[in-house]
Amino acid sequence: MGRQPSQEIRPSVPQESIGFTHSLGERVRRMVFGGDLGEDILVHRPFDVHVGIDGSIYVTNGMQGSVMRFHPERRDAERMTPTGAGVLVKPMGLSGDDQGLLYVADPVQRRVVALTAQGDFVRAYGGQGVLLNPVDVAVSAAGDRIYVADSYLHQVVVFAGDGTLLRRIG
């Protein structure tokens, strides 16, 4: 039998690369003798990954409306959950430009959101009536062209950096 999609998959190998080494033995030891375990970093339904210009590793966290940012040198991670105009419902595709901006495809909201490396909203591309199901995004290094794969339209939709719709391919 296969694993149910809603089941959480936990790695069987300690995550030394980001500093999380809480084995069962460590958890029991800390429960008996005290000590803080810290917060586990879990990614539910990862869809895409991007390495930022600073070496941070970003992963879309589809079930939690967030993007995980892993800092390999600091050996830690954080969950970026944009609010307000930048809120994410189901982040899927992920890309970035040479200025450090992240671009996240959100099919539920029918748009791509540009965020700073800290998760602050910059701009949105598409929206109702322009995109139907944006599932992935690619960005030119300069950030002047945003290419959005829309699986329902069977098209790649091209935007200028300022959000202007340039053309549809397909």
Q: What is the pLDDT of residues 39-69, one digit of tens each?
A: 556 677 889 999 999 999 999 988 888 999 9
Per-residue pLDDT reduced to its tens digit, 72-91: 888 888 899 998 999 999 99
Per-residue pLDDT reduced to its tens digit, 141-151: 999 999 999 99
Taken in order 62, 93, 98, 51, the sign of the CA dihedral is positive
Provide the 3-class DSSP secondary structure of residue 46: strand
Sheet order of strands, 134-139 included: 134-139, 145-150, 155-160, 165-169
- Beta carbons of 81 and 65 less than 8 angstroms apart: yes
Q: What does R_g of the chain's alpha carbons equal in angstroms?
A: 18
pTM over 0.85: no
> Which residue is listed with tokens 């970093």?
41
User: Is it the case that residue 109 has pLDDT exceeding 90?
Assistant: yes
- Beta carbons of 107 and 76 less than 8 angstroms apart: no
For 47, the enclosing helix (H) or strand (E) is strand 46-51
Give the C-alpha separation, 28 to 22, whole Å. 10
What pLDDT, on a 0 to 100 scale, did the predictor assign at position 150?
Answer: 97
Q: How far is CA 108 from CA 29, 97, 122, in A?
A: 43, 23, 19
- Beta carbons of 94 and 80 less than 8 angstroms apart: no
- Beta carbons of 112 and 133 less than 8 angstroms apart: no
Question: What percent of the chain is predicted at pLDDT more than 70?
Answer: 75
Q: Please state the rounded mean pLDDT for residues 18-34.
A: 53
What pLDDT, on a 0 to 100 scale, did the predictor assign at position 126?
Answer: 96
Q: Nearest to residue 45, comparing CAs of 68, 64, 70?
A: 64
